[in-house]
Amino acid sequence: MPNSLEQLKSTGTVVVCDSGDFATIDKYKPQDATTNPSLILAASKKPEYAKLMDVAIEYGKQHGKDLEEKVDSTLDRLLVEFGKEILQIVPGKVSTEVDARFSFDYQASIDKALHIIDLYKSIGIEKERILIKLASTWEGIKAAQTLQSKHGVNCNLTLMFSLPQAIAAAEAGAYLISPFVGRILDWYKAAMKKDYSPQEDPGVSSVQAIFNYYKKYGYKTIVMGASFRNKGEITELAGCDYLTISPGLLEELYNSQEKVPQKLIASDASSLDIPKKSYIDNEPLFRFDFNEETMAVEKLREGISKFAADAITLKDILRKKVEG
């Protein structure tokens, strides 16, 4: 009998590996891989990735008028070096994240995204294999709209915790979204002081609602569930377009023989009674409806701060090496 990971793939779900540690990626044969500053920080501390650091530091020393510019250049190049290595393992795309400090800066997000694309091109990797990750703020969503429509750059809108974010992202023409499952569960467990089974998990429910909305209204944006806390959250979303899964949970699925029936079925959404909304040309409505979702507001703030803090930690490590 096929293992649970193979069964998940057979439901039509594309499996993506959520890791910067590419030594672990190959075993599970994912289509794509996703990275973020926290994953790159964790991987960059391992000695086997020292050679990528060396390339990035050498590049950074040559690019920048002062130390801070050199450190920024080093970090950008490091992200791209990790992406390059991952693309030698996965047949599809790699997601590379724009610095979370730019989450509320439309133009800086676009400029950084295009710079990352140019860096990839300079080492022979075309933009078709890259997804630019942006936080699902109003500015991030509008930046994705411009990158997709004017530059042909595919975007992954991340740190997504609500339907208003998802609707705006689809209207923006984003290639893919990453609605977070486990972080929603974390919030509800802390707020409600109770545990949830996978069947009643509020993070799972959030992705189901987004999936059904997209399928009912014919949006092509890929729904990629992310941030899982347990195997049950994953199997409850079997049939979702994509799921990005950490190596630890991929290993659990790989070693499991439990049945994984398809739970999300696109054709079922057409009969659901879901009101249609529009946000992409109405910033006040987007901000109000998003603001009504306490969990989403808190988790977006926390996620941006955490990614920004990990990027700063990584820059501190790189600064010492650039100076040295």
Query: Which residues are known catalytic residues?
Result: 133
Tokens at residue 85, please?
Answer: 């290595």
What gap in Å lies between CA 36 and CA 317, rounded to an integer?
Answer: 17
> Hey, is 324 helix, strand or coil?
coil
> Looking at this protein, which amino acid is placed at residue 161?
F
Q: Using an 8 Å Cβ cutoff, are 197 and 232 in contact?
A: yes
Query: What is the C-alpha separation between 246 and 229, in angstroms, rounded?
Result: 10
Give dist(CA 222, CA 254) in Å, integer.
24
Between CA 14 and CA 168 the distance in angstroms is: 23
> Of 207, 185, 208, 187, which Cα lies nearest the Cα of 197?
185
Q: What angle do CA 107, 293, 168 make, to 5 degrees?
A: 40
76 Cβ contact list (under 8 Å, min separation 6): 112, 115, 116, 119
- The number of residues in the chain equals 324
Q: By three-state DSSP, how is residue 253 classified? A: helix
Identify each DSSP E strand in 150-306 by its residue range: 155-160, 176-179, 222-225, 242-245
Token pair belonging to 83 = 């992406």
Identify residue 284 by its one-letter amino acid code: P
- d(Cα 95, Cα 242) in Å, to the nearest integer? 13
Q: How far apart are CA 275 and CA 277, in angstroms?
A: 6
CA distances (Å), 51 to each of 36, 44, 47, 75, 117, in order?
A: 19, 10, 9, 14, 22
